[in-house]
Amino acid sequence: MFSALIEFALRCLLVSPFLPFSALDKILNFNAAVDQASQAIPNRVFAILLIIGGLCIEFFMSLAILTGVADRLAALTLAGYCLITALLWKQFWTKPDFRLKGASNGRDVFWDFMKNVALAGGFFLLAFGSNGSGVQQFLYHPLASSQPYAIVRNGIQ
């Protein structure tokens, strides 16, 4: 029982940037989110669709990870989401003032980029486990649950 609580707490930490915070921010500040998306996607209708899609990904994939329902596929989806958002909205390499020393807006964007990449790594670990056999298991059963809350007694689930 204690290990299930620890597992749930760790999963809460992993998805907390998305559920509730980013999802709620997209709802409360929808127009600002669309304006930000419009910086990378000039078509406003497509930017709106991206924000709605992002909101759905953040909400439903986070819930899947928290409940353990198809959590590996949800983790893979959020890993891809983190990488795509890093590449679209955290383009530190385009900032003219990017440098490692001294004041730099580009360096701040670089750290945001790296945080997205690190989150993707955490989600990849959840999707595949910490060894190569997890990739093969995922490919055979992509909708399988990792059964995070199964209670183990005397080595038997």
What pLDDT score does 156 carry? 53
CA quadruple 88, 139, 20, 47: dihedral, nearest 10: 30
Q: Is residue 147 part of a domain?
A: no
Whether residue 110 is contained in a domain is answered as: yes
Residue 81 to residue 50: CA distance in whole angstroms: 11
Q: What's the domain count of the chain?
A: 1
Q: Read off the pLDDT of residues 1-24 as tens digits, 9 standing for 90 and up.
A: 788 899 999 999 999 999 999 999
21 within some domain: yes
* Residue 153 domain flag: no
Q: Are the C-beta atoms of residues 50 and 43 closer than 8 Å to each other?
A: no
Residue 121 lies in a domain: yes
Residue 39 lies in a domain: yes
* Mean pLDDT, rounded, for 15-37: 93
Burial of 127 (0-12, 13-18, 19+ CB in 10 A): buried
143: confidence class by pLDDT, cuts 50, 70, 90 = confident
Residue 77 is assigned to a structural domain of this protein: yes
Alpha carbon 152 to its chain centroid, in Å, reads 29
**Of the candidates 68, 62, 61, 65, the residue with the CA atom closest to the CA atom of residue 149:** 68
What is the pTM for the complete model shown?
0.87
Is 151 domain-assigned? no
- Domain extent for 51: 2-140
Distance between CA atoms of 44 and 88, rounded to whole angstroms? 16
**Which pLDDT score, from 0 to 100, does residue 27 have?**
95
Got the DSSP string for 5-35?
Answer: HHHHHHHHHHHTIIIIIIHHHHHHTHHHHHH
Per-residue pLDDT band at 151 (split at 50, 70, 90)? low
Query: What pLDDT digit, counting tens, does each position of 55-92 carry?
Result: 999 999 999 999 999 999 999 999 999 999 999 889 99
